[in-house]
Amino acid sequence: MTETGHSHGIGDPTPRNRLVIAFAITSSVFIVEVIGAIITGSLALLVDAAHMLTDVIGLAMAVTAAHLMNRPPTPKYTFGLQRTEVLGALAQAALLLGVGIFALVEGVRRLFEPPEIASGSLLFFGIVGLVANIASMLVLFSGRGRNLNMRAAFLEVVNDALGSVGVIASAILIAVFGWYQADAVAGVLIALLIIPRTLILLRASGRVLMESTPAGLDLEDVRRHILALPHVVAVHDLHATQVSTDLPTLTAHVVVDDTVTMEASAALLTSLQQCVSEHFAVSIEHSTFQIEPESHPGEHDTHA
d(CA 230, CA 219): 19
Contact 242, 148 (CB under 8 A): no
pLDDT at 272: 92
Whether the pLDDT of residue 25 is over 70: the answer is: yes
Contact 61, 151 (CB under 8 A): no
Contact 263, 209 (CB under 8 A): no
End-to-end CA distance of the chain: 19
- How is the chain split among helix, strand and coil, in percent rounded to 5? 65, 15, 25
CB atoms within 10 A of CB 195: 17
pLDDT at 45: 74
Mean pLDDT within 120-143: 82
Residue type, 35: I
pLDDT at 15: 59
What's the angle, vertex CA 154, arms to CA 133 and CA 184, rounded to 5? 55
pLDDT digits (tens, 9 = 90+) for 155-211: 777 877 877 888 888 889 888 888 888 888 887 887 787 788 788 888 888 888 888
Give the residue among 269, 241, 264 at the shortest CA–CA distance from 254. Answer: 269
Q: At 37, is the secondary structure helix, strand, or coil?
A: helix
Residues in the chain: 304
d(CA 110, CA 105): 9
What's the angle, vertex CA 278, arms to CA 3 and CA 206, rounded to 5? 80
Over its C-alpha atoms, the chain yields an Rg (Å, rounded) of 26
Q: Give just the sign of the alpha carbon dihedral 274, 280, 285, 286.
A: negative
pLDDT digits (tens, 9 = 90+) for 199-238: 888 888 888 888 889 888 999 999 999 999 988 999 999 9
User: 61, exposed or middle or buried, with CB in 10 Å at 0-12, 13-18, 19+?
Assistant: buried
Q: At 144, is the secondary structure helix, strand, or coil?
A: coil
Contact 238, 222 (CB under 8 A): yes
Residue type, 276: V
pLDDT at 125: 81
